Amino acid sequence: MRFTKMQGAGNDYIYVDCFRETLPADADQLSRLARQISDRHFGVGADGLILICPSERADARMRMFNADGSEAEMCGNGVRCVAKYVYDHGIARKDVLKIETGRGVLSLAVEAQNGSVRRARVDMGEPILEAAKIPVSVPGVGPSERIVDVAWREHIPLGEPGPWMKKWEASGVEKGMTCVSVGNPHVAIFCRDVAGLPLETVGPVFEVAPVFPRRINVHFVQVHTRGEATMRTWERGSGITLACGTGASAVCVAGVLAGRTDRRILAHLPGGDLELEWNEKDNHVYMTGPAVEVFSGDWTPQET
Q: Which of 81, 179, 244, 252 is catalytic?
A: 244
The dihedrals phi and psi of 288, each to the nearest 5 degrees, come to: -125, 130
Active site residue 252: no
The dihedrals phi and psi of 222, each to the nearest 5 degrees, come to: -110, 115
Is the CA virtual torsion 190, 191, 193, 198 positive or negative? negative
- What is the Cα–Cα distance from 283 to 271, expressed in whole angstroms? 27
The dihedrals phi and psi of 232, each to the nearest 5 degrees, come to: -130, 150
Q: Is 67 left (phi over 0), alpha (psi -120 to 50) or beta?
A: alpha
As a dihedral over the C-alpha atoms of residue 185, residue 203, residue 260, residue 265, rounded to 10 degrees, the angle is -70
Q: Which of 75, 81, 191, 252 is catalytic?
A: 75
Pairing of strands 217-225, 185-190: parallel
CB-based contact 136:296 (threshold 8 Å): no
Three-state secondary structure string covering 32-89: HHHHHHHCCCCCCCCCEEEEEECCCCCCEEEEEEECCCCEECCCHHHHHHHHHHHHHC
Active site residue 81: no
SS3 209: coil
- What is the Cα–Cα distance from 200 to 240, expressed in whole angstroms? 7
**Looking at the annotation, which residues are catalytic?**
75, 244
